[in-house]
Structure 1
Amino acid sequence: MMDKKSLRKQVRALKKTFSAKELRDMSDDVIARLLALPEVKSARTILLYYSLDDEVFTHDAVDELVAEGKEVLLPVVVSDSEMEIRRYNGPEDLRRGSLNIMEPVGTPFTDYQSIDVVVVPGMAFDADGNRLGRGKGYYDRFLALVPDAYKIGVCFPFQKFPTVPVDDNDVKMDIII
């Protein structure tokens, strides 16, 4: 099995073989499937992410879920090892953060038990629900705090592998789309 560093490198190279438009087009199917999930439809509070250019595009889904009256939360990177969660109210809330990610301003959201669904990006996923992130561990540390939330990994089809390397700190997804 490939080690984490090599697999991340392979996925980064794969991503570069697609144009921005191709990645956006592939995102449409993934997001349609995400929004159709019963767990998402019934959720009141959802932690999503505001996508980078090489991730499944979530900007429209974030706004759509807010329009449906759901409480949408987004992560904010606050240090090399920690992220906090803040409520998203609309695009006017966003500022460019430390990792060039658009992040909401405002006070931290701390009622973790009320989070029904967490939508998690990743570099690679496998059929057993294992996820390989970007290597900083932000999501794995946070997911450990919300053990009852339904965890949905989202990725492009080329990011699905037979197995991905994992260690004890890695948190499994309930479903991969």
Structure 2
Amino acid sequence: MLKNELRALMRQRKRQFTQQQLSELSLPIVARIKSLLRNSRTIVAYYSLNDEVDTHHLIDEMVQEGKIVYLPKVVSDTEMVLCRYTGRDSLSPGSFGIMEPQGPVMPHNTSFDVVLVPGMAFDADGHRLGRGKGYYDRFLSTMMAPRSLLVGVCFDFQKVELVPTDSCDISVDIVV
């Protein structure tokens, strides 16, 4: 299956669920993420879209626990940067209608314990299909050693047998 065909299939699967159902399906996934983050201090997360695993409360809880959280902000057609998330009042609509932080941009020497990575589909080998713009692959390819734990976040119905990959695609370490 080609990437665009798999994206179309995932969009179709997502449309089979109401917003309430997706919120309920998010709860056990978020619980697994919380256990992974227990000993983490600095985390890259994402502010979920309506059709993604709901990360809104998780992000707020991490900040309340004293964790340092960065979220992506799109700054050009090819680049995203990370900005510190300090609370929902620091968000405003950005590119593609995604809520983005307006806080300070991450310093270049910052290292992260965990990076939560959204995707349209994942396979058991950690291959990830994004939305097609390549923002995460470009960002993840710039991460310096020691590399953070990359955690793919998706609903069970987004897990597939095989995700087609290209040489520029970055795989995740685990999928929850």
With normalisation by structure 2, the TM-score equals 0.96
Q: Which residue of structure 2 aligns with residue 3 of structure 1? A: 2
Which one of 81, 85, 92 corresponds to residue 84 of structure 1? 81
Q: Distance in 2 between matches of 1:142 and 1:166?
A: 17
* DSSP-derived class of the 1:33 partner: helix
Residue by residue over 1:105-132, the C-alpha shift from the partner in whole angstroms, topping out at 9 and shown as x without a partner, is 0331133542111000000000001000
Q: Which residue of structure 1 aligns with residue 30 of structure 2? A: 31
Q: Give the C-alpha shift of residue 10 in structure 1.
A: 0.4
* DSSP-derived class of the 1:99 partner: helix
- Give ranges in structure 2 of 5+ residues lacking alignment: none
Conservation of the 8 A alpha-carbon contact between 2:86 and 2:103: no
- Give ranges in structure 1 of 5+ residues lacking alignment: none
Q: How does 1:44-59 map to 2 (within 5 A)?
A: 44-59=41-56
Give yes or no for the alignment of 1:74 onto 2:44. no
Q: Distance in 2 between matches of 1:112 and 1:95?
A: 26
Aligned alpha-carbon RMSD (Å): 1.0
Conservation of the 8 A alpha-carbon contact between 1:112 and 1:146: no
Identity %, equivalent residues: 52
Which one of 41, 44, 60 corresponds to residue 63 of structure 1? 60
With normalisation by structure 1, the TM-score equals 0.95
Amino acid at match of 1:55: E
Q: Give the C-alpha shift of residue 7 in structure 1.
A: 0.2
Amino acid at match of 2:31: A
Q: Distance in 1 between matches of 2:131 and 2:157?
A: 16
Q: Give the C-alpha shift of residue 145 in structure 1.
A: 1.7
Q: Which residue of structure 2 aligns with residue 175 of structure 1? A: 174
Q: Distance in 2 between matches of 1:112 and 1:21?
A: 40
Amino acid at match of 1:155: C
Q: Distance in 1 between matches of 2:107 and 2:13?
A: 37
Structure 1 segments of 4+ aligned residues over 6 angstroms from their partners: none
Give yes or no for the alignment of 1:16 onto 2:46. no
* DSSP-derived class of the 2:48 partner: coil
Q: Which moved more, 1:140-149 or 1:165-174?
A: 140-149
Q: Give the C-alpha shift of residue 99 in structure 1.
A: 1.0
Amino acid at match of 2:139: F
- Change in Cα spacing, 1:150 to 1:75, as seen in structure 2 (3 Å) is same
Aligned length: 174
